[in-house]
Amino acid sequence: FGTMGSTSKAVAMNRDILTLFKVEGDDFSWETGFTLPEIHSLGPKSLEVVVKTLIGSSKLWQRIFFSNPDDEEAKRRCVKCCMDALDIFDKAPAKTQVSDRSVIYPGYSLMSNIARTMTYVPPNNMSREAFELSLGENFVKETQYQQYHQCRALAFQADVMKRQGKYEDALSVIDEMKTIYNPHLHSRVLMKEYVSDHCVEIIAASTFWLHHYGRNDEALQLCDQVLDTMLPEIAATELLTKLNVLIPICRTLANQRNTSNAKKALELYRTHVSDPVALAGGKAHPALGKRVPFMIILKCYSSGGEAYDYDDLSTDVAYMLNRNDPAWFETTCLTYIDAAWSTRCAEACLCLAKMTGCISHDESSALIKEGLKCLEESANTLKKEDGTIVNSMAHSYYSEILSELENLSAPV
């Protein structure tokens, strides 16, 4: 039913399936789930069915929530179904009799996605940090005998660490993952099992971390490795994965501050992301709308500050001054590429405003004003109410762009 778009029918069917495993004829409730005696009564086959159905239900509720972000009930049920699946598998005595433990792996992967894209309350009064660290550790333990699942688990663990600002720890886990991960053997099966190859995504993300922390030669070597051995394994239709892989790599190349590397980054981004998305039109994933400001930045860097195609330049200026971005771009951008979306837009405004010989003075002034306005949003995104910085790498990027824009706006 879910694949036919009848999500509500699929949800109702899953509820009927889960009711079969309740005692004394009780109907299954999304709010209360299963009692501990009911969990203990599950046999190995029943445990598999319950876990699979809860994970499937979580995905359905997530789909409903993403189609209507104001639906708090759908969000709550999405999170609860996934957490319940993990909790039931952990507590059920029949777990030791399950022959294929991979039944629970999609639950860990889904919880990783929830942790990155949604707000939620962890169970048992745990902090989010402690809960996510324990998830990563448990996923690694569960997958230690199955290689490509182990790779996914290690990618999850590294992602949790980097979101907590523990970049060095994350890099160590990625190094461990790279000893197991074989893109030729694992990439396509990971895409089939987990929707995306999170291993290549986290490896690509780490190129910019290395660059940021002064390990530039390692960063460039890893960029080459990803481009030569990993990118070719990603199907041409997997545009969102390609976007997630290429943004940190192209960002690292562009930050070398030379035209040749910037041109290489632009060509990669245009070939694998921008042109295919334009060709896909309305069929492209909504998140691919995030591609435009970075494309503008790459065009500016690769032109060496000179004008590129006039019509193209005029279109880009108009785009940056008249955008209407979904609110979720801000947080998802921060989660995936260690930069606030508003900061990325501010840099695009900065790059265009610096082309003083190519655009009018009024356009340049408007771009500076828009860039500073974007950075006001960045300041709110990157600091908690108590003043704590949310992401040190993203804040460093914000501070750099703010300084350049303020210098550009200062009267001569």
* pLDDT, tens only, 390-412: 999 999 999 999 999 999 887 65
Strand (E) or helix (H) holding 121 = none
Mean pLDDT of the chain: 92
Q: Among 144, 58, 154, 147, which Cα is nearest to 106's?
A: 58
389 bridge partner residues: 383
* pLDDT, tens only, 124-138: 889 999 999 999 999
Q: Are 139 and 153 in contact (CB under 8 A)?
A: yes
pLDDT at 2: 42
* pLDDT, tens only, 218-277: 999 999 999 999 999 999 999 999 999 999 999 999 999 889 999 999 999 999 999 999
Whether pLDDT at 73 is above 90? yes
Q: CA-CA distance, 334 to 278, in Å (whole number)? A: 24
Q: CA-CA distance, 49 to 21, in Å (whole number)? A: 10
* pLDDT, tens only, 153-186: 999 999 999 999 999 999 999 999 999 999 998 9
Q: Are 229 and 183 in contact (CB under 8 A)?
A: yes
Q: Which segments of 255-290 does DSSP mark as H helices, in order?
A: 259-269, 275-280
Check residues 257 and 40 and name the one with the higher pLDDT.
40
Q: Which segments of 235-304 does DSSP mark as H helices, in order?
A: 239-254, 259-269, 275-280, 291-302
Burial class (CB in 10 A: 0-12, 13-18, 19+), 292: buried
Whether pLDDT at 147 is above 90? no
Q: CA-CA distance, 335 to 330, in Å (whole number)? A: 9
Give the percent of the chain with pLDDT over 70: 97
Residue with tokens 């009692």: 35
pLDDT at 4: 39
| 3: confidence class by pLDDT, cuts 50, 70, 90 | very low
User: How many degrees, rounded to 5, is the angle at CA 209 between CA 202 and CA 380?
Assistant: 95
* pLDDT, tens only, 355-370: 867 788 899 999 999 9
Residue with tokens 């922390």: 213
Whole-prediction pTM: 0.77
